Structure 1
Amino acid sequence: MAEMRSLLAACLVFAAARAGASSDESAAQAAAASFDGSVAQGNVPDAPPASGVAAPATPPGQPLPKSDVELRNDVEHRGFLYFWQQADPVTGQVPDRAAADGSMPASPPVSSVAATGFGLSMLCAGAAHGWVTRDQARARAKETLSFLLNTAPQEHGFFYHFIDARTGARAYNSEVSTIDTALLLGGVLTARQCFADDPEIRALATAIYDRVDFPWMLKGTPPLLSMGWTPEKGFIPARWGGYSEHMILDLLAVGSPTHPIPASEWNDWARESVHYGTYTYISGDTPLFIHQYSQAYVDFRGLKDGHGIDYFQNSVTATLAQRQFFADMSKDVPTYSANVWGGTASDTQNGYKAWGGPPRSAADDGTVAPCAPGGSIMFTPEQSLDALSEMKKRWGGKIYGRYGFVDAFNPADGWADKDVIGIDQGITALSAENQRDGKIWGWFMQNPEIGRAMNEVGFKKETP
């Protein structure tokens, strides 16, 4: 738990700067067929399975009511528009944030490399749905990948968290970030498979991934990946020592064909149980994003690792627990309910904060972040879309605009954010796409490095 609190502290180092900055079915089947379900050797401790799911979620691919389908698709399309319209037209880099009304900045904004990764993924989804042509998406992907490989500053292959969207220069004195690089690589490798018929895209994407020197970030005893590095102070002391959004980072590192880390590192981080009411699941801290980001790309459905954990079901349970937690908090915050909920890292009236629950966070001030239920559409489509539908119905255009939901709002006092944030629009859009037909999962899981890593760390198919 201490490691995760260090994570939140590291995330918030740049919060003030951030706040001030004005898959198809056949692909999914092919990925499943290529995964052999073998088990890595070694003794690993068991963890209690996720439990207490009182209301089963609608599984991906199951029919949803027409109104839910329409909202899911609209949310995804509006999210796509953010990445298509706000990305730098020369470099393809995606702004960390933008005005919710769609107005364009007067000068090139600061880009989040994680948001650029989500943007690469949404190029693929946009082309698949006909929102842009495949040639348009291909051209944008090439521009983006070429800039990342040849211009954006990097250290041992890892990228800075924030960069100037036009020049690539480091912004906000930000860190070279392991998790933001990993989320960027998620989009890079998704594009590699989506445009597998394009040798230039494949070569660019492969070179970006192969350049990352993952062992350089291994620190401490046992060796765990550091959260980052700065030229002024060297490695950030906090390491990825507990359950969090870093699972995709671990798998990319283990599966690297050029600079892999030992598969045993997967077993060295803590998996602590959280109990809330009838719900039991593993977690690290309260924001819901820690259960979402890795699974925007990694399809854990039907798989367990050597610890006996089904990470997909764990995220279902964590989402339902937060929903119940907000409903229970309505005694103190009457504007919360089972359909008005959402705690994660988001804007608030008092700045950008990482918050959530259970348990209740000191940062909780009545704010609601729609990207919390939005990012869990792939886990709990019925409950998540019920929440988004209720919010849209009650507050309408005040919180729902050109790019979908604003980053956050406070129904208790009427405050509504004027911005959207790239990673929050991204996790909502990718989650919607995965629930729709699994396209992002399908493309990403076709990368052989990921299947190899999952085999090496001990994933196997669940038996009935």
Structure 2
Amino acid sequence: MKKGLAYTLICLLFTLNAFAQKKTVVHKPIPGSSIAPVGVVKNITDSALLDIIQRQTFRYFWHFAHPVSGLARERDNTVKGEYYWDYINEADDEPNLSKSTFGSEACAIGGTGMGILSTIVAVNRGWIGRDTALNRLIKIVDFLIKADCYHGIYPHFMNGATGKTIPFGRLDDGADIVETSYLMMGMLTAKAYFKGNSLPERYFQKRVQQMWDAADWNWHSNNGNKSLYWHWSPDNDFDMNFPVFGYDEALITYIIAASSPVHPISKELYENSWVKSASWKNGKSYFGYKLPLGNFDMGGPLFFEQYTYMGIDPNGLTDDNGVDYAEQTKSHTLINRAYCVANPKHYKGYGENSWGLTAGDSFKGYVAHCPEDDRGVIQPTAALSSFPYTPQYSMQALRHFYYDLGDKIWGPYGFADGFSETHNWYAKTHLAIDQGPIVVMIENYRTGLIWKLFMNNPDIQKGLKRLGFKSKWIKE
């Protein structure tokens, strides 16, 4: 009874505080919270360079967040509210070009999770104040508690002013379990970081726990144990019919779903939908590196090894199928780099100091770049978010991007999303899902901060054990 009364008082306090602040101009930064951008600074140490890269990239989430909700905007450019993306269509000789209209209100649920992780890094490194960051996080959770949500699962895109779903496609107009897993990775890590007993921290912890308890991951099994489905719609049910199968960026989805204290999925569902899928195993060697997992030749886009592992430490992580995830993440990265160095299509600019194929913007729109779909476009996030796996090679690429190409791709939100020297094309865009991993994975390389917070979560440890994983972090 006393706990219930205390929580009610906390809620009342923040409701009154929010009401009192309604006259505030939301676009105006809180004094002392602004991070000034810098240009290319010469003659600095590698450590100082990493500081600059992380801090300036974080500005995307801090200064370009939606002013109403605090959510991470999906990207910082729109062309009449439209942008294009281009995926490999294995049934056709030509890629499938698609178009969608989102506009400047579009916020990314997964990108918001990555922004939250970046905010923890920012506080820990002293770029922003702890209380200031916590106020932003409270704004986000208060907004999400009232926003569109489907059995506790959020949509891919959301209007940052209204909380309404922005459909990703005709059938994809509801819940997105993968994007929600990235969001919850961020929320649970922030809950662990802001673990104090002050009223704001206790309030934030309660809000995150509400979201965590409400998320019904099992709903996406469609009352079976054969497939975990990526999407559900209140209008279209499971008509999207897209199981989460792998190996790809969605391993974290299974780990998060198995870790739920209220609606955990079973190992049987994980095995049937993920491990037994035709695209899970690889086992081939490329450029002398064995790749345990994945159906793509040479591994596919590098974000496969970055999104999940912002929170999950692959070092010492194995499963009862004999997979070593440290080998998987490092081999995939080394294969991607080796391919760029070999440069079989003879693109200008590829080499030992300029490598990294992953999903991102190009002169052809948004493309899932990889050795199988190489168009001469390098995404800086690919090499920079690989720092935990290839620190020497990633630093080599970072120096080149910053010192040699800085006048073309360095800006107020860090590096532009992509560039092609062959086509003399340099992006003017930044994407939440590409900026976030840069901040977080460099920090995991430097201090392991996010890994420590996330891997020590008791729920996550239970989920990993439920799925048959072993890790140095798991307490027996």
Q: Does 1:448 align with 2:448?
A: no
Match of 1:81 among 55, 59, 67: 59
Alpha-carbon offset, residue 219 of structure 1: 4.5
Q: Please state whether the residue corresponding to 1:95 is helix, strand or coil.
A: coil
For the 8 Å contact 1:71–1:385, the answer to whether it is kept is no
Greater Rg, structure 1 or structure 2? Answer: 2
CA distance change for structure 1 residues 166 and 339 in 2, over 3 Å: closer, same or farther? same
Q: Does 1:227 align with 2:230?
A: yes
Q: Please state whether the residue corresponding to 1:347 is helix, strand or coil.
A: strand
Alpha-carbon offset, residue 331 of structure 1: 5.6
Matches within 5 A, 1:45-444: 67-98=45-76, 109-149=105-145, 151-174=146-169, 175=172, 176-197=175-196, 198-219=201-222, 223-235=226-238, 236-268=240-272, 269-270=274-275, 271-273=280-282, 274-281=284-291, 282-285=293-296, 286-329=300-343, 332-357=346-371, 360-361=372-373, 364-444=374-454
TM-score by length of 1: 0.79
CA distance change for structure 1 residues 334 and 108 in 2, over 3 Å: closer, same or farther? closer
CA distance change for structure 1 residues 396 and 461 in 2, over 3 Å: closer, same or farther? closer
Task: Work out the CA distance in 2 between the residues paired with 1:218 and 1:231.
Answer: 15
Alpha-carbon offset, residue 248 of structure 1: 1.1
Q: Please state whether the residue corresponding to 1:226 is helix, strand or coil.
A: coil
For the 8 Å contact 2:152–2:211, the answer to whether it is kept is yes
Alpha-carbon offset, residue 444 of structure 1: 1.4
Q: Please state whether the residue corresponding to 2:246 is helix, strand or coil.
A: coil
Task: Work out the CA distance in 2 between the residues paired with 1:433 and 1:157.
Answer: 30
Alpha-carbon offset, residue 214 of structure 1: 0.8
Report what 2:97 is aligned to.
none
Alpha-carbon offset, residue 234 of structure 1: 2.4
Alpha-carbon offset, residue 173 of structure 1: 4.4
Q: Deviations over 1:204-239 (max 9, x none)?
A: 111111111111101597522111123443222121
For the 8 Å contact 1:108–1:166, the answer to whether it is kept is no
Q: Deviations over 1:346-389 (max 9, x none)?
A: 011111111212xx31xx22111111112211221111121121
Task: Work out the CA distance in 1 between the residues paired with 2:142 and 2:457.
Answer: 20
Alpha-carbon offset, residue 413 of structure 1: 2.3
Alpha-carbon offset, residue 325 of structure 1: 0.7
Q: Deviations over 1:429-449 (max 9, x none)?
A: 110111110111111123211
Q: Please state whether the residue corresponding to 1:243 is helix, strand or coil.
A: coil
The one-letter code of the counterpart of 2:253 is L
Q: Deviations over 1:80-104 (max 9, x none)?
A: 111110112331111001159xxxx
Q: Which moved more, 1:222-231 or 1:240-249?
A: 222-231
For the 8 Å contact 2:72–2:107, the answer to whether it is kept is yes
Q: Which moved more, 1:218-227 or 1:333-342?
A: 218-227
Task: Work out the CA distance in 2 between the residues paired with 1:391 and 1:319.
Answer: 18
CA distance change for structure 1 residues 393 and 224 in 2, over 3 Å: closer, same or farther? same
Task: Work out the CA distance in 1 between the residues paired with 2:195 and 2:459.
Answer: 15
For the 8 Å contact 2:225–2:268, the answer to whether it is kept is no
Task: Work out the CA distance in 2 between the residues paired with 1:312 and 1:146.
Answer: 37
CA distance change for structure 1 residues 337 and 330 in 2, over 3 Å: closer, same or farther? farther
The one-letter code of the counterpart of 1:400 is W
Q: Indicate the RMSD between aligned Cα atoms, in angstroms.
A: 2.0
For the 8 Å contact 1:177–1:227, the answer to whether it is kept is yes
For the 8 Å contact 1:371–1:424, the answer to whether it is kept is yes
The one-letter code of the counterpart of 2:204 is I
CA distance change for structure 1 residues 262 and 131 in 2, over 3 Å: closer, same or farther? same
Alpha-carbon offset, residue 69 of structure 1: 2.2
TM-score by length of 2: 0.77
Unmatched runs of 5 consecutive residues or more in structure 1:
1-64, 101-106
Q: Which moved more, 1:451-460 or 1:329-338?
A: 329-338
Q: Which has the higher contact order (CA 8 A, sep 6+)?
A: 1
Matches within 5 A, 1:27-42: none
Across the two proteins, how many residue pairs are aligned to each other?
387
Q: Please state whether the residue corresponding to 1:343 is helix, strand or coil.
A: coil
Alpha-carbon offset, residue 201 of structure 1: 1.0
Task: Work out the CA distance in 2 between the residues paired with 1:117 and 1:263.
Answer: 25
Q: Deviations over 1:20-72 (max 9, x none)?
A: xxxxxxxxxxxxxxxxxxxxxxxxxxxxxxxxxxxxxxxxxxxxx97432332
Task: Work out the CA distance in 2 between the residues paired with 1:398 and 1:355.
Answer: 21
Report what 1:10 is aligned to.
none
